[in-house]
Chain A
């Protein structure tokens, strides 16, 4: 049953080839775990040193958008797993459908992320010269929930009264927020590119029960990106929600 067209010369069988590819991808993912691990470490150390500043920073994030995005990303992992399964059982049409669904959900995630970044920009929460935790409650935009904003104002002002440096230190939270979610988004964009390549291959009917390694490998990568978000969401959005 071997299709020599897909079996590279230095492997004896397709199974061996697939095992090598999977192992190689996992080793790459180990380096990725440590790469993101370093950022999580930086986050943990700074959060324990500046817990109040991180708390008020985190509370400005929109939990609905964050939780919605978590569901979207987990759904995209599910459709990716379904695409791998479809390739393994030889349902070529389903492979294309599930890959396109995965790409669609990934795009939705990135779109929501862009909306969140735009909000932070409008609220003067980008670390740098114009950064001010008090700006948003002092300059509400049309459509803002004023009750929520009053709570935010009270919380920020109490924190600043207790320590005047807090407004300054909150920039650390936002630096890490943009660094970590930005790096995650970059991985999503790379993943979307890989998905486009897979979709092209699936239209050509490349993936069969005997040979579906590309789908499987990109699947591993996509699930890894999902896992990073699974940790980012509680750490960035949910650290100090008492109200």
Chain B
């Protein structure tokens, strides 16, 4: 409830400088406020808080490992260009 004012304000801030990093940082701040206050994570038991931290941790593992895989594989195919980004006409199947 305390965070609501800031949350709505932050939603309007998105009209300003629309940089993806800024947008994601604002989104994360908003999400954290919702989790901490609306979802009462701040006042939950230690066990519940552990589950919440785990969800973020597992998500981070999934994103980090998959993205590092994609980012390193594309160089094998064609330096500097993602394999996916080659023109559809020149692509042979299976991709």
Contact = CB atoms under 8 A, between A and B. Distances in A.
A67 B47 contact: no
A33 B55 contact: yes
A164 to B, nearest CB: 8
Interface in A27-84: 27, 29-30, 33-34, 37-38, 40-41, 44-46, 48-50, 63, 67, 70-71, 74-75, 77-78, 80-82
A67 B39 contact: no
Contact of A44 (B8, B14, B67, B85): B67
Given A49-B85, A163-B87, 15 more contacts: A26-B51, A27-B51, A33-B55, A34-B58, A37-B62, A37-B63, A41-B63, A41-B67, A48-B82, A71-B12, A223-B38, A227-B31, A234-B20, A234-B24, A238-B20
A176 interface: no
Nearest to B81: A49
Contacts of B26: 234
Given A67-B14, A81-B1, A22 B48 contact: yes
Interface in B25-46: 26-27, 30-31, 34-35, 37-40, 44-45
A168 B86 CA distance: 13
B85 to A, nearest CB: 5
Interface in B3-23: 4, 7-8, 11-12, 14-15, 18, 20, 23
Contacts of B87: 163-165
Contacts of A70: 11
A47 B47 CA distance: 37
Contacts of B45: 19, 23
A110 interface: no
A234 B38 contact: no
Max chain B Cβ within 10 angstroms of own Cβ: one of A19, A80, A242:
A19
B27 A234 contact: yes
23 contacts: A23-B48, A23-B51, A30-B54, A33-B58, A34-B55, A37-B63, A40-B63, A44-B63, A44-B67, A63-B15, A74-B4, A74-B11, A74-B30, A82-B1, A168-B88, A169-B88, A226-B34, A227-B34, A230-B27, A230-B30, A233-B27, A234-B14, A238-B23
A157 B44 CA distance: 54
